[in-house]
Amino acid sequence: MRYSIVSLVLAAVSTVSGLPNHPKKNLIMMVSDGFGPASEVAARAYIQQSQKYPEDYMTNLDKLLIGSSRTRSSDSFVTDSAAGAVVFASGVKTYNNALGVDRNGVPVGTNMEAAHRLGYKTGVVVKSYITDATPAAFASHVLERDMNSLIAEQMAGLIPEVGRNLDLMFGGGKCTFMSNSTKGSCRADNRDIISEMKAAGWTTTENRDEFNKIPANVKLPVSGMYAIKNVPYAIDYPINDVPSLPEMAKKALDILSEATKNSEYGFYVMIEGSRIDHAGHDNDLGTHIREIIEYYETIKVVSEFIDANPNTVMISTSDHETGGLTLGRDNKYVFRPLVYANQTMSIDISCAGLLERPLKDRGAYVTEKMLPVHLGMSNVTEAIASKVLASKIRADCLLAMSDALNRDSNINWSSLGHSGVDVNLYAKGATTEQLAGNHENTDIGKWLTKYLDVDVNAVTKELAKINVNQYPYTRAPSTYVFDYISHD
Ligand SMILES: *[C@@H]1O[C@H](CO)[C@@H](O)[C@H](O)[C@H]1NC(C)=O
Ligand SMILES: *[C@@H]1O[C@H](CO)[C@@H](O)[C@H](O)[C@H]1NC(C)=O
Ligand SMILES: *[C@@H]1O[C@H](CO)[C@@H](O)[C@H](O)[C@H]1NC(C)=O
Ligand SMILES: *[C@@H]1O[C@H](CO)[C@@H](O)[C@H](O)[C@H]1NC(C)=O
Ligand SMILES: [Zn+2]
């Protein structure tokens, strides 16, 4: 610790207790949900071929590679996004589905909560529900990730024992903040959380116009809920007027840097490419690639911010891989990324259009819209069309549509869920080289805490008696302890 004359003088006039021995700094944690190594190659190959770049082309992320992260949770080699984010927020392994609690269901403080208590400004910027697992892991504490109604109250700062820990939240999932008497609500009760937030001092915004008008010096805390459910996929932006992830990230950085310009402390924001994962779950490579490209654009926004503000660092990694993507199949040594170049709509939205139509209209929709326009196929066969048309439920349609292109591109997916492979680790900014190499994912959270120089254990002590159980759930904390020696 260095106490200069200047800092002693500053401390004397400071409103913050204690000496300002923290050099002012900002932390940007980027999470690419469900983005594994095969997806990286698919997106890179797609960009390289479609832009006619040389074969040694490097993406915005490739240039920042420093290592890799292991992804297992406390109870499985295949994590979910809840346990996969708790490691970053709290530095501890926990069971799949847990948020802000350890493997015994006991609340653990997060580095974002500790940073907020110290004087940092904090935020989350996502494309999923704001209450979805990754953002929720930074500012909520529940036994099961499905407890969205309680998560919303905690993230909004409406539970006194938890306090308000966020100054900014941008994303989707407005439904968890709407009374169950409102159409589209996904809350368990009739509380109107958005009105409660306004009464508690939040500046709230709910659409593109209001987003555009948020000034950099907006009164904090500020929220932006730009979709009832998830913010649409990038490939579907042409039919949805919503702010994109890079736009939300840029706005968040402007707001948080403005809010801290005269402060001894900087800001800490978590930015998530949430729907890379969703497209993986749908086995929809064209949509997956466009979500990844949007994530690269977000990395560019963040990189430029760091170039202009060198007291800022960024870490970017994934919580896990999704879909078990393989580039190559049927013993053929081929992968054709450009098969996805003419896709114009996510399989998710295209299939929803099929299933909401009366049976008599479906044939024309498949042969005139879904295959030639949405997937951009130039040679639609009878076999492919009848398989899509035969879909009775969403899952059948997703598989038939995915399959329609996978043979031409010569790829395959092995799962509709997650896999257990290591994921890449990227970083930019002073001291991040300390994270070089292969790491257990908990090391990343511990490093974030160390970088911020905050006391997470003090928060854990404060949270010991909070309610982590949302009615009507009554989950008992996990009693199954993963056997590290087991070969299962
Ligand atoms: C809405 O929430 C109230 C409690 O706030 C509950 O009594 C009621 O059953 C809920 N209605 C529905 C349709 O879930
Ligand atoms: C995409 O569309 C263009 C223009 O119609 C066409 O030339 C090209 O062959 C199509 N690509 C694929 C993979 O179908
Ligand atoms: C579709 O066209 C492409 C390129 O012309 C060809 O390689 C592929 O085999 C065709 N697919 C089918 C199912 O006919
Ligand atoms: C593709 O993966 C599915 C499982 O997702 C499997 O049933 C199928 O046999 C695979 N196809 C090839 C050609 O490997
Ligand atoms: Zn997932």
pLDDT tens digits, one per residue of 357-408 = 999 999 999 999 999 999 999 989 999 999 999 999 999 999 999 999 999 9
Q: 26-326+415-463: what CATH class?
A: alpha beta
In angstroms, how far is CA 236 from the centroid of its own chain? 18
**Closest residue by CA, ligand 3 atom 1:** 379
Is residue 245 a contact partner of residue 301, using CB atoms and an 8 Å limit?
no
Which has the closest alpha carbon to 89: 77, 102, 76? Answer: 102
Tokens linked to 358: 């009366």
Whether the pLDDT of residue 479 is over 50: the answer is no
Is residue 168 a contact partner of residue 252, using CB atoms and an 8 Å limit?
yes
Confidence band (pLDDT; 50, 70, 90) for 471? low
Confidence band (pLDDT; 50, 70, 90) for 12? very low
Beta partners for residue 34, in sequence order: 321
471 within ligand 1 shell (Cβ under 6 A): no
Confidence band (pLDDT; 50, 70, 90) for 77? very high
Mean pLDDT across the chain: 93
Distance 80 CA to ligand 5 centre (A): 6
CA distances from 202 to 167, 199, 220 (A): 9, 7, 7
Dihedral, CA of residue 299, residue 305, residue 308 and residue 311, to nearest 10: -100
Confidence band (pLDDT; 50, 70, 90) for 188? confident
pLDDT of residue 481: 41
180 within ligand 1 shell (Cβ under 6 A): yes
Distance 383 CA to ligand 1 centre (A): 47
Residue ranges per structural domain of the chain = 26-326+415-463, 338-410
Helices (DSSP H) in 410-469: which residue ranges? Answer: 441-452, 456-462
pLDDT (average), residues 167-182: 97
Which atom of ligand 2 lies closest to the CA of 338?
13
Which atom of ligand 4 lies closest to the CA of 283?
5
pLDDT (average), residues 244-258: 98
Buried b (16+ CB within 10 A) or exposed e, 391-412: beeeeebbbbbbebbbeebbbb
190 within ligand 1 shell (Cβ under 6 A): yes
The torsion angles phi and psi of 481, rounded to 5 degrees, stand at -100, 125
pLDDT of residue 470: 81
pLDDT per position as a tens digit, 101-149: 999 999 999 999 999 999 999 999 999 999 999 999 999 999 999 899 9
- The C-alpha angle 172, 175, 178, rounded to 5 degrees, equals 125
189 within ligand 1 shell (Cβ under 6 A): yes
> Of the bound ligands, which one is closest to the alpha carbon of residue 376?
2
Amino acid identity at 75: D
Distance 323 CA to ligand 1 centre (A): 36
